[in-house]
């Protein structure tokens, strides 16, 4: 495990995240993840996420459904860079933070290439199992 540093494209938002790319990442086939090209690393401890600067530049993607789910997708309102998702969902083990891999500034090319990916089947509310097709993700 190490501390990664992340930021948005314009530099308005910066964060630190304690995680391990080698422990695995996730991509999903749900509607949101497909449209956003989401690739994320879940932090082993949600308290391992620290916003360094830019709270005033943050915006949240509004939910497109009426589901009462505690999940918040954050991005920079100035440049549009996706940054992290946080929430509290019992089916996901409670409170969580997942950082967007593309927002990590110091993840090496070797770490990204070696990072295992779980291809989740969120399109069928079956996140813990693999998506039947992943070539388009």
Please report the sign of the dihedral spanned by the C-alpha atoms of residue 121, residue 19, residue 78, residue 61.
positive
pLDDT digits (tens, 9 = 90+) for 20-74: 999 999 998 888 888 888 899 999 999 999 999 999 999 999 876 656 778 899 9
Q: Give pTM, 2 decimals.
A: 0.89
Spacing of C-alpha 123 from chain mean position = 17
Q: Looking at the domain that runs over 2-119, which CATH code has it been given?
A: 2.170.150.70
**Domain boundaries of the chain, sorted by first residue:** 2-119
Please report the sign of the dihedral spanned by the C-alpha atoms of residue 133, residue 112, residue 77, residue 94.
positive
């Amino acid at each position: 495990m190490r501390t990664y540093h992340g930021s948005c494209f314009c530099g308005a938002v910066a964060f630190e995240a304690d995680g391990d790319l080698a422990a695995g990442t996730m991509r999903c086939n749900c509607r949101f993840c497909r449209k956003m090209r989401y690739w994320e690393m879940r932090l082993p401890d949600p308290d391992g996420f620290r916003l360094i600067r830019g709270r005033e530049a943050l915006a949240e993607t509004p939910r497109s459904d009426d589901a009462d789910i505690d999940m918040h997708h954050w991005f920079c309102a100035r440049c549009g860079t996706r940054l992290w998702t946080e929430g509290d969902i019992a089916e996901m083990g409670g409170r969580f933070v997942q950082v967007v891999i593309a927002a990590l500034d110091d993840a090496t090319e070797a770490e990204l290439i070696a990072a295992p990916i779980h291809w989740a089947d969120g399109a069928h509310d079956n996140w813990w199992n693999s998506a039947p097709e992943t070539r388009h993700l």
